[in-house]
Structure 1
């Protein structure tokens, strides 16, 4: 949908595309998801869902089983039963992932741009991540150059891990000073229009600290 708010429901049928969210995000939803019918939620799930089911005469409700908590699924069942709706709850998996596995031309262009940006930034930080700076400083320098080169943000928290920390694939940068002749793991990626390129670069620093 393109909606970046933290609260909302997507309800999609053959002829309806609804984004339901609360009053905090209705204006944002309208801007970010112009192709969706934005509905402001009022009350509890048990208040607004039955109204939509009745209005659009839905008979089956599919949900992402990998992401909907059991408590929510159980609650949906109770709502349907209490309202005596003839609605079947159908668990689904990987619907969105399968749709996005085939890229559109616009997505391919952004993927290529993200890869080019990643290569350019890696060429810059190779001379910056060196003995004498801390992992946190190296992570900040990496993010700084990503943004300076056109990244909208970062795909995930940047990883810079040196010495014994480099054995941890998802280590968080620390105040540990990078030393000569030790391994360094640098993992990061730019974010461009929800497209990310990921670089995981393990290497060994052989530079010597000069006074």
Structure 2
């Protein structure tokens, strides 16, 4: 029986990339994330327009991403899930393969275990559009496993923002990781709010999720 761990990247395993862009580029508007804005497509259109207005191509963003490390203990946490609890880890992120590629090696994650989006780049090297690989939300990945009759008993999901709610709904154990006050306030009571990987490990151990 398969036991899946569906995990977001930004805000859970790596820092929020757009907040890093905002700080380094000194553009406060780029600090807004799905912790504050639930409509991801509107947020991305907003970001793309800001990047164009400030003449920032994709290559510049990739340079900045190379300066960022994964969150402390993220790799060890994933290894624990895989080796100690026998989870099959699947990344479900509304970020982009073009941004996340450096982190797959750092976290020992096969790229074919990740479900992300792609960026459309124009002839001048600027982000023109997002090629969405899901139409409605992160839950679509889990629903596809269900349609394939993959048993998902005791599977978990970990996210930090509004756009993670739909996937947390569909598993036996949904974790909100270091959520903002707004996200926490608007989340269902049955989501488990945690501040560290250790809290998740303690929960899995105490509740014998194995």
TM-score, length of structure 2 as denominator length: 0.28
Higher helix share: 2
Bigger radius of gyration among the two: 1
TM-score, length of structure 1 as denominator length: 0.28
